[in-house]
Copies of this chain bind each other. A is one copy, B any other.
Amino acid sequence: MTTPEAREEAVLEAVRKRREQVNEAIPEELPIQRPERLYEASRYLLDAGGKRLRPTVLLTTAEALADVDPLSEDYREFPTLNAETAGSRSAADTSGQSEAPDLIDVMNAAVSVEVIQSFTLIHDDIMDDDDLRRGVPAVHKEYDLETAILAGDTLYSKAFEIMLETGAAPDRMVEALEVLATTCTKICEGQSLDVTFENRGDVSPEEYLEMVEQKTAVLYAASACLPAILLGADDETVDALYGYGLDIGRAFQIQDDVLDLTVPSEKLGKQRGSDLVEHKQTLITVHARDQGVDIEGLVDTNDVDAVTEAEIDDAVSELEEAGSISYANETAQDLVAQGKGRLEVLPDNDARELLCDLADYLIERGY
């Protein structure tokens, strides 16, 4: 288990086992009911697949906090933390609060986060008028615009309803719902910034990272801190886990931008360098522009089908010479190292180890 390949294999196996559990829970928490067409459209993208990385982060964090052997729980309910482990929060709770329940249905929180992710993808695909997602037609293509907007809106409120069924004590539930609501607001703000940036030629790396934090990383941050809130961890633990999620979420997005340039088209499942052709801003291009590279002139065509591998090779060489790809790689690595460091608030156990390996996987994955 010491070679990088063996470690990646172990992470993938851990993700797969948790994904199976999440895939079982989704139809239970979001059954197809009347009006059927609305709920079928709401489930369409969820049923089409997905790695379930955010629910995996959430469930593994719960395992680490509860200090149980990975996958030893039934994956619905986890024990709340005792007064000693829970620290100041629990001490405050004893002053007149009702007794906290013993078991929390953390899987509901995991499904809630995946449902939010699915709602944002459905609405994003409408906004970008993308045809395909997860190898199937986007919801507004498979159904229609009306149904896709409504399906996203339905998932939005269902995520809150599902979170409300974790069985957590009211004060913790309020805190969890606060995280869910502010996370959704930030995702919208990040998406709006992303749209604004498309028409701007002077986005700085710092602005780009802020956008990525809001658009992508906050949902990882929510995933990591929600079990701490629900199980009754102290504020220090909640904050550290939120930071871990922000760090690995930003690293994940930066790595996505790097892979678009470095992974062969066959393996990527789309034209390598399509971000460059489509003039999408990434950490790499905003850095290169700062270094004086003429980003708009890197590739001559706007047409993904017309670009040649040689053109992409030349563009990548120029970005390498400007140090922009190394800059992105190093930024992602620094974020992952920072994120892993924050996990010291957790008990030293196998689940914590897995959260470290998950962080590494997000930037070491080949595609």
Contacts and interface: CB of A to CB of B under 8 A. Distances in A.
B192 A150 contact: yes
Interface string A138-182: 000000011101101110111011001000011101100110111
A232 to B, nearest CB: 13
A125 to B, nearest CB: 11
Most B CB contacts (10 A, CB to CB) among A96, A160, A161, A193 go to A160
A169 B96 CA distance: 13
Main secondary structure of the interface of A (DSSP, over half): helix
A35 interface: yes
A181 B164 contact: yes
A104 interface: no
B182 A174 contact: no
Contact of A173 (B149, B174, B192): B174
Interface stretch (A5-13, A65-73, A183-191): A183-191
Interface residues of A, number: 45
A150 B96 contact: no
B192 A38 contact: yes
B170 A185 contact: no
Contacts of A152: 153
Report the copy number of this chain in the oligomer.
2
A2 interface: no
Contacts of A174: 164, 170, 173-174, 177
Contact of A171 (B150, B170, B180, B192): B170
Contacts of A158: 181, 185
Contacts of A3: none
A93 to B, nearest CB: 9
Contact of A153 (B34, B38, B188): B188
B188 A161 contact: no
Interface in A106-142: 123, 126-127
B189 A160 contact: no
Nearest 7 Cβ contacts at the A-B interface? A170-B170, A157-B184, A160-B181, A38-B192, A170-B171, A154-B188, A127-B146
Interface of A: 34-35, 37-38, 95-99, 123, 126-127, 145-147, 149-150, 152-154, 156-158, 160-161, 164, 169-171, 173-174, 177-178, 180-182, 184-185, 188-189, 191-193, 195-196
22 contacts: A35-B193, A35-B196, A37-B192, A37-B196, A96-B96, A97-B98, A126-B145, A126-B149, A127-B149, A127-B150, A154-B189, A156-B156, A156-B184, A157-B182, A157-B184, A158-B181, A161-B178, A164-B174, A164-B177, A170-B173, A170-B174, A174-B174
